[in-house]
Structure 1
Amino acid sequence: MSEYPHILLRAEEKPLEHRSFSPAVIKTLVDAGYPISVERSSTDPKFKRIFEDSEYEAAGARLVDTGVWPNAEPGTIILGLKEIPEEDFPLKNDHITFAHCYKNQGGWEKVLGRWAQGGSVLYDLEFLHDSEGRRVSAFGFHAGFAGAALGIKTLAHQLQDSSSKLPSVETFTDGRGYYLNEDELVNPDSRGSHQG
């Protein structure tokens, strides 16, 4: 048994949001002694995580079924990036997530009330700071990378054809609406850098 609490990375349920904590982050936690479980990613392309389940296994995590987090063992910390689904059941485990509740977003009372009802704690990533007052979790390298790559694609399109809007991402991703990985985003292949 570990001296550290069990952490469960939940599968995310927000359509077309494929971000997650990376296998590298999970490996760091495993190497530090944390027991980690990762819910299997959805196979539905709208909900599929950007990282493969096998990458989490290789990082030392144990894969579990999707959707088990509400019934996790007491003391398990539930980890996720995006908001939890809007339901009514009390949250009995502590959560580390972006809850989007502290800036008067609609329904914040109901969302926060679920932790109070379950006697658990929300560690909202938006408000966790280090001893210097800096946010612990902020947009990282990949967010900047994706923004810069899309900006360059847009500029290239405008320089080549200023009379039309940049086509939607669905046009360049076989209708998916998202890139499978960073190589697909930046590799111009035969379509040209302004096309996708």
Structure 2
Amino acid sequence: MTKIGIIKEGKIPIDRRVPLTPIQAKQITENFDVELVVQSSDIRCFSDDDYRNAGLRVVDSIDDCDIILGVKEVPIPKLVPNKTHFFFSHTIKKQDYNRDLLRSILDKQIRLIDWETLTNESGNRIIAFGRWAGIVGAYNGLWTYGKRYNLFNLRRAHECFDYDDLKTEFSKIKLPNIKIALTGGGRVAKGAMEVLLGAGISQVTPYDFLTQRFNEPVFTQLNSRDYNKRIDGGAFHRNEFYKNPELYEGDFLKYSKVTDILIACAFWDPAAPVLFQRQDIIRDDFDIRVIADITCDIEGSIPSTKKPSTIDDPIYDYNPTDDEVEQALTDEGNITVMAVDNLPCELPRDASESFGNELVNNVIPHLLGNDEKGIIERATITKDGKLTDKYSYLQDYVDGK
């Protein structure tokens, strides 16, 4: 019988999310021939007793489990050799800070499956926290604007019990007739739009956003074609843009002239054009003063995102003249940046339940079945002490080159 363990999250700062809620974990034991145990934890959004009450065994060690489920990177000393680990490894983009983690995974003969690499046959992700990053990120963006201009006071998202509790704050949001630009069209953007619409902010087309004045706050959703253009003046083709982004240049500045808040939800490829550059920010016609950078690509497509912020300290100011980070809300000439890099942690119960539903429905049947569609195989980064063929491009990263 396969034995599955839910690991205690060990990364600092702490993460209160879980891959499976108690009810979902119990559901797996009822539908599959598996034993599922939970490593004791004092930080989860669901307590040990919640799991015990669902009929699950809480243990001190999960070293005897075949499959170990977690959310964030497992600290190197906590990795269990010769087992299958599931977690967000943050290695597939060759992130420097996790090189030693991947090396240890290889040394310990661990089979690593990254949640981010689980996709269907069309290449679309089948499990993610993206919607919750969008929800919390947009809410934090509105919270930041209220703070910057002393307009209203909202509870922080993490101070709310769950999403339903957070929604009760929407009635406090009183905005002037500002314009909000939102980039992206995936799960993150849809989550952000939920909050903007829930707060009573009307959506308008990109054209009207650029050309019309409104007597109320409005937002527009911008897709890649709205703020990128072909260098040779030809027509925009989405598939070509993603395959050959070097053929395109940025065209976002027309929006920056009329935007008050930017909510960045779009995935950014380093080969693609940036949204804007530092010298653009210091132009007299650059109007953006609050940026909620949900993507949090450090010094990526948005030059003011110089560092991630934290749930405890969620905003900082960017001084574009000196290209420096300063204390939040200190100078009207600065841009206030919200760049929390673990946003779903602010609503851990909802985020965990949503993630767990996708795990139960989209992953577990393939993991515990015959994986006919290759979902688990495609997502496997390491096996038997080696990188799999699909991820062999990481070898120079592992070797420190």
Question: Scaled by the length of structure 2, what TM-score is found?
Answer: 0.36
Residue number among 44, 51, 70 corresponding to 1:49 in the alignment: 44
Q: Which has the higher contact order (CA 8 A, sep 6+)?
A: 2
Residue number among 2, 6, 10 corresponding to 2:7 in the alignment: 10
Question: Gaps spanning 5+ residues in structure 2: where?
Answer: 174-401
- 2:158 aligns with 178
Contact 2:152–2:172 (8 Å) recurs in 1: no
- 1:38 aligns with 38
- Equivalents in 2 of 1:88, 1:40: separation in Å? 14
Contact 1:38–1:56 (8 Å) recurs in 2: yes
Q: CA deviation at 1:51?
A: 1.7
SS of the residue corresponding to residue 107 of structure 2 reads: helix
CA deviation digits over 1:115-154, x for unaligned, max 9? 2222220011111112332212212554444445545655
Q: CA deviation at 1:186?
A: 4.0
- Equivalents in 1 of 2:135, 2:9: separation in Å? 22
SS of the residue corresponding to residue 178 of structure 1 reads: helix
Q: CA deviation at 1:9?
A: 0.5
- Matched letter for residue 26 of structure 1: A
Contact 1:102–1:108 (8 Å) recurs in 2: no
- Matched letter for residue 93 of structure 1: K
- 1:119 aligns with 109
Q: CA deviation at 1:30?
A: 1.8
- Equivalents in 2 of 1:144, 1:154: separation in Å? 15
* Aligned-residue CA RMSD (Å): 3.3
- Equivalents in 1 of 2:130, 2:24: separation in Å? 13
Question: Scaled by the length of structure 1, what TM-score is found?
Answer: 0.68
- Matched letter for residue 53 of structure 2: A
Q: CA deviation at 1:40?
A: 1.9
Larger Rg: 2
- 2:176 aligns with none
Q: How many residues align?
A: 168
Q: CA deviation at 1:37?
A: 0.8
Question: Gaps spanning 5+ residues in structure 1: where?
Answer: 43-47
- 1:100 aligns with 90
Q: CA deviation at 1:114?
A: 1.9
Runs (4+) off by over 6 Å: none
Contact 1:78–1:95 (8 Å) recurs in 2: yes
- Structure having the higher strand fraction is 2
- Equivalents in 2 of 1:30, 1:56: separation in Å? 13
- Cα 1:28–1:184 shift into 2, 3 Å: same
